[in-house]
């Protein structure tokens, strides 16, 4: 990755530079010697900028498109971008050549400032490369991923992988042996610990992977092309990610392509099982948010480095269908997202990875809307997912007001809405083998209260839960830290996870 792609979009020279240029451009366009400009024209332009922005903010909130709190400065910079356009138009005739050039240049800089400000708050794209969609670290293409899967088991994996662009540099591959452990297949529709500091990309794990893992990879590499053999031989050091496209199956749910993470131990044929965690993001967003702003694959790699290459398989799945759609993972007007997650997804991954759908080895995790989904899906389908991780989720699926939720999520079906209400889901002593983690950021007081309420009701219902509060707010920075903190505990309890002592941990602060 080049120097420009490595530049941070969360802080540093790009953020400061874009903001400085936007402020300077606005100042140059607004400062005029004409009294009428100051008394009449400029106030009108400011009003013309503020009113539509306020209207858009109201619509986003009332429609449920954006429900989380965001800083007032978002509106200020949105209005500034519109003001820059209006100033350039209103002052075009009277402005000199240099002022016209500044006015034109200010428009993209104010728009860029808005994007940078929003991104630095939510941490969607950490670097320029992430924004441009560069290949993820250790990303492999369709053919290489298919070879790795086929080399672990026969028959070859089912179709469904989308071709991705991977670096020509043979720096990373991952693989694993198909899971053939025992368990009952189902086809129905105290968080603590973090990887050792410094082990951020898993490359230090090369010497920690058992010799049989490397031997399995080298043996399988002998059946490949020279370039593929070279890459497969390197897989013992760390896992890989590749794009996947899960067929909609019985749900018919229209979704975007997802991402699959395979840990280094995936090709270890002596293992009978590896656990699976289905990962869900929020709205607005997409399945790659966990791999970029959430650093989930990097976290799993670092964990594998301390556990002889063993870590859960991570499947980053799209449950919304578009960047702004919010299904709340229910079967409704936006599609049968619940049927997709509880039936199509586990069936496809089970066939692809040769992993039985056994709730003891399957977990579902999510942040924000995805956290709401993780809890709801696990509570409604404990025969598929025996563990859930709810990071700052809401109390129940919702799109704002109850009336809006009823119509937009459930098409007016009150019984369906009631069936997803935790008051009905969490009846006393209903569950026996379900485990869950609730985590929220200290600065995110709303979701801290929600987590406490749900955790209390879940315990009464028989769910083994842990409720923790970490530093941070409702951002991907919090989600990344929370997943690092909870992964060791979750992985050690999932069937097929590491059985030895857990690595050094950083304990989350329990809520009151």
Cα within 13 Å of Cα(69), Cβ side:
9
Decide if 377 contacts 388 (C-beta within 8 A).
Answer: yes
CA distance 466 to 486: 10
171 vs 465, residue with greater confidence: 465
**pLDDT at 506 exceeding the cut of 50:** no
CA 307-124-438 angle, to 5 degrees, is: 55
Q: Which residues contact 194 (CB under 8 A, 6 or more apart)?
A: 484, 485, 487, 488, 505, 506
Decide if 116 contacts 16 (C-beta within 8 A).
Answer: no
User: For the residues of 296-312, what is the DSSP string, one character each?
Assistant: HHHHHHHHHHTTTT---
Q: How many CB atoms lie within 10 A of CB 456?
A: 14
Of the candidates 343, 328, 308, the one whose C-alpha atom is nearest the C-alpha of residue 374 is 328
Decide if 184 contacts 358 (C-beta within 8 A).
Answer: yes
Decide if 247 contacts 348 (C-beta within 8 A).
Answer: yes
Token match 């936006």: residue?
334
Q: pLDDT at position 345, please?
A: 93
Q: pLDDT at position 458, please?
A: 94
Q: How many CB atoms lie within 10 A of CB 483?
A: 26
386-to-40, 99, 276, 341, 350 alpha-carbon distances in Å: 65, 64, 11, 14, 15
Decide if 325 contacts 334 (C-beta within 8 A).
Answer: yes
Q: Region 215-239: what's the mean pLDDT?
A: 46
Q: What is the pLDDT of residues 110-165, one digit of tens each?
A: 888 878 877 776 777 777 666 766 766 677 777 777 777 776 544 334 444 433 33
CA distance 258 to 205: 26
Crossing angle between the packed helical segments 97-122 and 13-30, to the nearest 10 degrees: 140
Q: pLDDT at position 463, please?
A: 94
Decide if 397 contacts 376 (C-beta within 8 A).
Answer: yes
CA distance 265 to 280: 23
Q: What is the pLDDT of residues 387-424, one digit of tens each?
A: 999 999 999 998 877 888 898 889 899 999 999 999 99
- The region of weakest confidence among 198-202, 342-346, 459-463 is 198-202
471 vs 173, residue with greater confidence: 471
User: Percentage of the chain with pLDDT > 70?
Assistant: 71
Spans of all domains in the chain: 3-131, 142-154+208-228+238-510
For the whole model, what pTM was predicted?
A: 0.72
The 3-state DSSP composition of the chain as helix, strand, coil percent (nearest 5) reads 45, 10, 45
* 142-154+208-228+238-510 carries CATH number 3.40.50.1820: yes
Say whether 402 sits in a helix, a strand or coil: helix
**pLDDT at 338 exceeding the cut of 80:** yes
Q: pLDDT at position 218, please?
A: 38
Residues facing 510 on adjacent strands: 468
CA 450-62-322 angle, to 5 degrees, is: 80
CA distance 91 to 328: 47
CA 194 to chain CA centroid, nearest Å = 18
- The region of weakest confidence among 163-172, 346-355, 454-463 is 163-172
CA distance 288 to 316: 7
Q: How many CB atoms lie within 10 A of CB 333?
A: 12
CA distance 378 to 431: 11
Here the tokens at position 16 are 């400061």
Calculate the dihedral angle through the C-alpha atoms of 368, 463, 505, 199, rounding to the nearest 10 degrees: -50
Parallel, antiparallel, or unpaired: how do β-strands 362-367 and 276-280 relate?
parallel
Here the tokens at position 322 are 């578009």
**pLDDT at 371 exceeding the cut of 80:** yes
471 vs 77, residue with greater confidence: 471
User: For the residues of 125-139, what is the DSSP string, one character each?
Assistant: -SBHHHHTTPPPTTB
Residues facing 389 on adjacent strands: 365, 437
**pLDDT at 14 exceeding the cut of 80:** no
**H-run or E-run covering 430:** none
pLDDT class of 68 with cuts at 50, 70, 90: low
Token match 């990344």: residue?
480
Here the tokens at position 478 are 């919090």
Here the tokens at position 413 are 């079906």
Q: pLDDT at position 146, please?
A: 76
Q: What is the pLDDT of residues 29-55, one digit of tens each?
A: 777 777 777 888 778 888 888 888 888
Calculate the dihedral angle through the C-alpha atoms of 13, 14, 20, 21, rounding to the nearest 10 degrees: 130
371-to-4, 319, 377, 390 alpha-carbon distances in Å: 34, 12, 10, 4
């Amino acid at each position: 990755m080049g120097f420009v792609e490595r530049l941070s979009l969360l802080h540093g020279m790009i953020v400061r530079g874009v903001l400085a240029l936007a402020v300077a451009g606005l100042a140059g366009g607004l400062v005029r010697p004409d009294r009428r400009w100051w008394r009449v024209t400029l106030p009108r332009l400011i009003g013309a900028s503020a009113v539509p922005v306020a209207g858009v903010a109201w619509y986003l909130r009332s429609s449920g498109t954006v429900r989380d709190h965001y800083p007032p400065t978002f509106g200020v910079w949105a209005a500034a971008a519109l003001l820059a356009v209006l100033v350039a138009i209103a002052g075009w005739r009277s402005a000199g050549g240099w002022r016209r050039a500044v006015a034109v240049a200010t428009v993209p800089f104010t728009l860029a400032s808005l994007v940078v400000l929003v991104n630095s708050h939510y941490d969607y794209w950490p670097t320029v490369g992430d924004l441009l969609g560069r290949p993820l670290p250790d990303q492999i293409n369709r053919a290489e991923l298919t070879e790795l899967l086929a080399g672990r088991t026969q028959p070859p994996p089912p179709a469904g992988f989308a071709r991705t662009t991977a670096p020509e540099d043979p720096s990373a591959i991952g693989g694993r042996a198909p899971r053939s452990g025992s368990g009952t297949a189902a086809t129905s529709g105290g968080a603590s610990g973090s990887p050792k500091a410094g082990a951020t990309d898993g490359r230090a794990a090369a010497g920690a992977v058992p010799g049989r893992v490397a031997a399995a990879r080298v043996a399988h590499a002998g059946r490949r092309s020279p370039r593929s053999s070279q890459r497969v031989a390197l897989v013992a050091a760390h896992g890989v990610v590749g794009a996947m496209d899960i067929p909609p199956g019985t749900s018919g749910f229209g979704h975007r392509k997802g991402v699959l993470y395979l840990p280094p131990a995936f090709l270890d044929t002596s293992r009978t099982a590896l656990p699976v965690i289905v990962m869900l993001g929020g709205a607005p967003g997409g399945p790659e948010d966990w791999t970029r702003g959430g650093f989930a694959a990097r976290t799993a790699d670092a964990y594998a480095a301390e556990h002889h290459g063993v870590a859960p398989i991570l499947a980053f799945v799209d449950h919304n269908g578009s960047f702004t759609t919010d299904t709340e993972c229910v079967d409704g007007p936006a599609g049968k997202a619940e049927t997709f997650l509880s039936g199509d997804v586990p069936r496809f991954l089970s066939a692809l990875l040769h992993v039985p759908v056994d709730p003891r080895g399957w977990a579902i995790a999510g942040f924000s809307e995805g956290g709401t989904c993780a809890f709801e899906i696990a509570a409604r389908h404990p025969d598929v997912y025996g563990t859930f991780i709810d990071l700052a989720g809401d109390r129940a699926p919702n799109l704002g007001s109850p009336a809006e939720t009823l119509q937009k999520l459930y098409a007016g079906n009150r019984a369906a809405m009631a069936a997803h209400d935790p008051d009905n889901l969490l009846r006393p002593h209903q569950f026996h083998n379900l485990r869950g983690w609730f985590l929220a950021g200290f600065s995110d007081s709303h979701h801290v209260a929600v987590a406490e309420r749900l955790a209390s009701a879940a315990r009464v219902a028989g769910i083994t839960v842990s409720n923790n509060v970490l530093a941070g707010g409702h951002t991907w920075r919090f989600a990344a830290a929370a997943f690092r903190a909870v992964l060791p505990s979750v992985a050690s309890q999932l069937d097929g996870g590491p059985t030895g002592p857990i690595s050094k941990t950083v304990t989350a602060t329990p809520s009151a």
